[in-house]
A and B are shown apart, each in its own frame.
Chain A
């Protein structure tokens, strides 16, 4: 292990710089022989996910209600593909789901009837009904055009006409006998005295003797009564005629309809519900045979028509779901857009003369219908962002049936006539995919979650790194290359991909399981290899892919660094300053993270024992950052002037920070600045600091250590590495180091250094070049030590405060 150069003023407490081999963990493929990925076996993407896989297996096998799956993990973990492939394998072994159709309800047309058919038979049923109607369209008119029917029909009509005609003829004859004429008016009848077929002129009538006139009037009145009686009997005769014709139609159509229906019944004799429906169709056909043959004829209009479409539509079959095109097993359905209607189906409407109308043929299946008997895969975020969808899914799972609900009715806006289709029994395993946060939020706030999603499958983000796991990842890389049709990758390139997987995991001892990111890297490396005319992807191609990706996303990083180099943003990388230290933060935008050095300063004066976080005062600091600053007060109170009231006023600030600051990773840097300001001891500006601190002065791990180091390194490198520059990191973060090659090279050459820090004491020693000091027998820190200076200053502040308080007391008494 090579020690880097240490500061000249370093005392015994200052830790040494990390050796280069601790800055990056190389892949150990020594135990495995292969030159390119072509020689490696493929593995699936399931390694390292035993916990999740067992959960999924359990979820698939258990058949009790409510044991649906909730799969959580990072979006790039290929959860969906993994689970889907598992489910598809399981589904193949399962029973092929049934077909479902909706047919007309002849008794209550607004309540279409759902019929279950064995898998794949629905289209045959639909075709059979279609053929039936087509046949009847041809056959029934022929039957009704036949001479036999026409003769019988004419006989009925003639009898009716004869009955009426006879009554009127008799009336006419009687009237004529009595010298009265029956006259047809535009809307009815009238009677008048007549002679030779002509109405007697009123002038002549008035000359008649009164008695004759009265007699004539009396005759007319009697004839009027007869006329009235005849007219009143006409509707009854008409009803009788209609009944006779209807009976004739029934009788005529029965034979033709029966024969056709019986043929279909024969094909579906094993399905009682289909037979029931056919019986209803039979009755309706006979009752409404007019729609086939005599539409438009007087008195023979069909009594009711379907609300939408033609009169024959009522006999059609709406195939809601069918397995006719599906070979075998259950189905695995993904619904990318789980709106309420896409989920539970919908009843569509047609506009007819400004009115929205519908019928059973306009019922459309939802994802639950299509997945019924199998698996339905849904993204929980998509589901939750669609109004009513989540609640509808839970209702369906609870009721174990699919009820098509009209969204308009749900919100009370719809006044359109709609349908109430039969609910369809639901037997589906729902698999939700989502981020952990959503799951935990739902678990906390939705008491129904556990009722319906009892099986949690939590996908790991990373796996422990070992030679064995590295080899598995190498095989997975080979599998991805084969699946994607990419060119093979050589051994060194594979090694770099694996090392990058560790970097993505943010831990030298782990490998990411976010396979999608690995896939992207491999694909991009393949592109660069192809661009370079290489048949095998090399390490340089992988490196180029990594670098180019950073470069593409690095505009903001470059502008920030440019601002520092141009001294727009003030960050020193040499010299020493009192109350000033370089802190490090991580900026993550659009999936790209980079480190950014910031100047942290501190000012102190006597006060009431308060450490002011300026970021918090202006509401730029988040709660965790504020917590970190408050911990500093605790540290000071526990470390210094224990017998004296804290009489300090200190203000801490991230200089030139114009956006929010969150996290406590700068709390150690802030403490160093505070101690420096109190002790009036300058801090080295060629070092940068990261790490949080607790009240006991222990430095704790932070995130983004690699990016932070590289962020400071980039600034130092561009200004020129001096050999004294470096970064103080928590010792606990050493295991996370997977630094860039140029950083490692600089460290190896003694031009840059990474210092593992476990206590504030170590950091103080390194940053000040002086011992921090330890309490001696008199209870005071050793002379000249940093801590002695701090404590003396705090006592001095306390004295000032006491004196000030005494003056105030005197002034008030």
Chain B
């Protein structure tokens, strides 16, 4: 896992159901704060070509609320138009943040696209779609799963964030957790408070707060009993008092296979969650 300054790029996965200016802007803001480039990766549904060849296949048209035959040519036109609009939005939004960006179109499936385009120095943005159906069906679930599995860091973006200003909160098992450095970089660039929540094995049910390091990288350190990390609700109750705008933590901090917990935490808090890879975490 690279240190904060070793991130090189923010990879934003777009598809037809996830072209949202607010989400792109949040990602661009992070890129600007950390001085990173951006790559917009537009994903196309790979199954449609085969689908059209099946004799009985048909499409339920949502606006018309009726079934209609599969029309591959129409899909092509719609994807082309959608990709063009996505590019325009992506480039324009990045430009407003002063971020250099590129834009690619992939029609090989989300997993393959992540594999092909992402690097360990990327922060892969997983923007949750507005619609509930799109969270379950289509490209998003596969893209999200592939991003989590990738070597890069992942920024989970809820569809509507609760606040755009507030503390950057790092959640760490130890004071040497790389999430603290990354959160420190973001907090300094955003001119926000940095709060570090550390699991203190010595405490048995009591939380304690203390000033952390002094100087430019000053932060507030809050030691929490291990039980505070046990559930989303417990953690959220603590975060309620912090007014955070972003959570940074290393995968596994909340337990093995904590992706679901992190996703739930992000949804509950409606706050971006930046998940770092644990590989480089010193032991």
| Contact pattern, A 396-426, Cβ under 8 Å of B = 1, otherwise 0 | 0000000000000000000000000000000
Binary CB contact string for chain A from 183 to 199 against chain B (1 if under 8 A, 0 otherwise) = 11111111111000011
Interface of chain A residues 536 through 560 with chain B (CB within 8 A): none
Q: Is A224 close to B, CB under 8 A? A: yes
Q: Which of B55-74 contact A (CB under 8 A)?
A: 55-63, 65, 67, 70
In the complex, chain B residues whose CB is within 8 Å of the CB of A202: 50, 53-55
Interface centre among A161, A188, A202 (most CB of B within 10 A): A188
Residues in A neighbouring B204, C-beta threshold 8 A: none
From A228, which residue of chain B is reached at the shortest CB distance? Answer: B60
The residue of chain A having its C-beta at the shortest distance from the C-beta of B140 within the complex is: A184
- The answer to whether A189 touches B75 (Cβ under 8 A) is no
Contact with B along A632-649 (1 / 0, CB 8 A): 000000000000000000
- Residue B139 at the A interface, CB < 8 A? yes
Say yes or no: B78 contacts A187, CB within 8 Å.
yes
- Specify which chain B residues have a CB less than 8 angstroms from the CB of A163 in the assembled complex: 132
Closest to A158 in B: B267
**In the complex, A482 has a CB within 8 A of chain B:** no
Beyond A183-B51, A231-B60, A231-B62, whether A190 also contacts B136 by CB under 8 A is no
- Bound form: Cα–Cα A217–B135 in Å: 26
- Which residue of chain B has its CB nearest to the CB of A170? B136
What separation, in Å, do the CA atoms of A190 and B56 have in the docked complex?
11
Residue from A172, A198, A199, A217 in contact with B137 in the complex, judged by beta carbons closer than 8 Å: A172
A199 and B47: CB pair below 8 A? Answer: yes
A185 and B59 contact, Cβ closer than 8 Å, known pairs A158-B267, A199-B50, A232-B65: yes
Docked CA distance A161–B131 (Å): 7
B175 sits at the interface (CB 8 A)? no
Asked if B240 is at the interface (CB within 8 A of a chain A CB), the reply is yes
Minimum C-beta distance from B197 to chain A (A)? 19
B65: chain A residues at CB < 8 Å are 231-232
With A154-B162, A158-B267, A231-B65 already in contact, the answer to whether A199 and B51 are too (CB < 8 A) is yes
B53 contacts across to A, CB distance below 8 A:
201-202
Q: Which of A158, A181, A192, A220 has the most chain B CB atoms inside 10 A of its CB?
A: A192
CB contact between B45 and one of A172, A183, A200, A232 (< 8 Å): that residue:
A183
Chain A residues lying within 8 Å of B48, measured Cβ to Cβ, are: 183, 185
Say how far A159's CB is from chain B's closest CB, in angstroms: 11
- Contact indicator B136/A165 (Cβ below 8 Å): yes
Known interface pairs A158-B267, A164-B132; A201-B50 also in contact (CB < 8 Å): yes
Residues in A whose Cβ lies below 8 Å from that of B57? 190-192
Question: Are A189 and B59 in touch, CB under 8 angstroms?
Answer: yes
CB proximity to A under 8 Å, residues B114-139: 130-139
Give B20-35 interface residues, CB cut-off 8 Å to A.
none
Q: How far is the CA of A160 from the CA of B16 in the complex (A)?
A: 22
Given A164-B131, A201-B50; A183-B138 close (CB under 8 Å):
yes
CB contacts under 8 Å to B, within A166-222, are: 168-169, 172, 181-193, 198-202, 205, 217, 220
**In chain A, residues 691-707, which have Cβ atoms closer than 8 Å to a Cβ of chain B?**
none
With beta carbons under 8 angstroms apart, the residue of A169, A190, A200, A232 that contacts B59 is A190
> Is B270's beta carbon under 8 Å from chain A?
yes
Would A187 and B136 count as touching, CB distance under 8 A? Answer: no
Residues of A within 8 A of B62 (CB): 187-189, 231
Closest A residue, CB atoms, query B77 = A186
Contacting residues, chain B, for A161 (C-beta < 8 A): 132, 135
Cα separation A200 to B267 with both chains bound (whole Å): 35
The reply on A150 being an interface residue by CB < 8 A is yes
B82, B131, B240: residue with the most chain A Cβ atoms closer than 10 Å: B131
Most chain B CB within a 10 A radius of its CB, from A165, A181, A182: A165
Residues in B neighbouring A231, C-beta threshold 8 A:
60, 62, 65
Assembled-state Cα–Cα distance A729/B16 (Å): 109
Measured between alpha carbons, how far is A487 from B207 in the docked complex, in Å? 98
Contact of B270 with A184 in the complex, beta carbons under 8 Å: no
B17 adjacent to chain A (CB < 8 Å): yes
Asked if residues B75 and A169 are in contact (CB atoms below 8 Å), the reply is: no
Q: Which residue of B lies closest to A203 (CB)?
A: B53
Q: Determine whether B79 belongs to the interface, using a CB cutoff of 8 Å to chain A.
A: yes
A61 interface contact, C-beta 8 A: no
In the bound complex, what is the Cα–Cα distance between A158 and B130 (angstroms)?
11
In residues 130-170 of chain A, which contact B (Cβ within 8 Å)?
147, 150, 154, 157-158, 160-165, 168-169
Contacts of B267 in A (CB 8 A): 158
Q: CA separation between A199 and B70, bound complex, in Å?
A: 15
- Interface residues as binary, A713-755 with B (CB distance below 8 Å gives 1, 0 otherwise): 0000000000000000000000000000000000000000000
Chain A residue numbers with a CB within 8 Å of B79 are 186
With the chains together, A165 CA to B78 CA distance in Å? Answer: 25
Interfacial residues of chain A within 32-82, with CB under 8 A of chain B in the complex: none
Complex CA–CA separation, A201 to B57 (angstroms): 12
Expressed in whole angstroms, the Cα–Cα distance for A531 and B134 within the complex equals 98
What separation, in Å, do the CA atoms of A161 and B160 have in the docked complex? 13
Least CB distance, B54 to chain A, in whole angstroms = 6
CA distance A185 to B60 in the complex (A): 9
Interface string of B182-213 (1 = CB under 8 A from A): 00000000000000000000000000000000
- In the bound assembly, the distance between CA atoms of A193 and B135 in angstroms comes to 21
Inter-chain contacts of A164 with B (CB < 8 A): 131-133
Contact present for B133 and A205 (CB under 8 Å): no
Q: B162: which of A150, A185, A186, A201 is its contact (CB, 8 Å)? A: A150
Bound Cα distance A564, B16 (Å): 104
Known: A190-B57, A192-B50, A220-B56. A185 touches B45 (CB 8 A): yes
Q: Are B136 and A192 in contact (CB under 8 A)?
A: no
Q: Which of B56, B61, B130, B162 is close to A217, meaning CB atoms less than 8 Å apart?
A: B56
Contact check, A168 vs B137: say whether CB atoms are below 8 A apart.
Answer: yes
Any chain B CB within 8 A of the CB of A227? yes
Contact of A192 among B47, B78, B130 (CB under 8 A): B47
**Pair B78/A147 contact, Cβ less than 8 Å:** no
- The reply to whether A187 and B61 contact each other, CB–CB distance below 8 Å, is yes
Contact B61 A154 (CB under 8 A): no
Mask of A366-404 contacts with B, CB within 8 angstroms, 1/0: 000000000000000000000000000000000000000
Find B60's partner among A147, A157, A199, A224 (CB 8 Å cutoff): A224
A279 to B55, CA, bound (A): 64
List chain A residues, Cβ under 8 A from B47. Answer: 181, 183, 192, 198-199
A200 to B53, CA, bound (A): 10
Which residues of chain A from 444 to 494 have a CB within 8 Å of any chain B CB? none
Determine the chain A residues whose CB is within 8 A of the CB of B139 once the complex forms: 184
Contact A172 B136 (CB under 8 A): yes
> For residue B270, which residue of chain A has the nearest CB?
A154
Minimal beta-carbon separation of B58 from chain A (angstroms): 7
Given contacts A183-B48, A192-B51, A201-B50, contact A168 B136 (CB under 8 A): yes
CA distance A232 to B133 in the complex (A): 13
Chain A residue at minimal CB-CB distance from B15: A184
Assuming the contacts A183-B47, A188-B59, asked whether A205 and B54 have C-beta atoms less than 8 A apart, the reply is: yes
Given A160-B132, A182-B137, 18 further pairs, Cβ under 8 A? A147-B240, A154-B162, A157-B160, A165-B133, A165-B136, A168-B132, A183-B45, A183-B51, A187-B59, A188-B60, A189-B59, A190-B51, A199-B54, A202-B50, A202-B55, A205-B54, A224-B60, A231-B65
Q: Which 7 A-B pairs have the closest CB atoms?
A: A184-B138, A164-B132, A202-B53, A165-B132, A168-B136, A186-B78, A161-B132
Which residues of A are in contact with B by a Cβ distance under 8 Å?
147, 150, 154, 157-158, 160-165, 168-169, 172, 181-193, 198-202, 205, 217, 220, 224, 227-228, 231-232, 298
Q: List 29 A-B contacts (CB under 8 A).
A: A150-B270, A154-B270, A157-B160, A161-B135, A163-B132, A164-B133, A165-B135, A168-B136, A183-B45, A184-B134, A184-B138, A185-B70, A186-B16, A186-B78, A186-B79, A186-B82, A188-B61, A188-B62, A189-B133, A190-B58, A190-B70, A192-B54, A199-B50, A201-B50, A217-B56, A224-B58, A224-B60, A224-B67, A231-B65
Q: CB within 8 Å of A: which residues of B?
A: 16-17, 45, 47-48, 50-51, 53-63, 65, 67, 70, 75, 78-79, 82, 130-139, 160, 162, 240, 267, 270
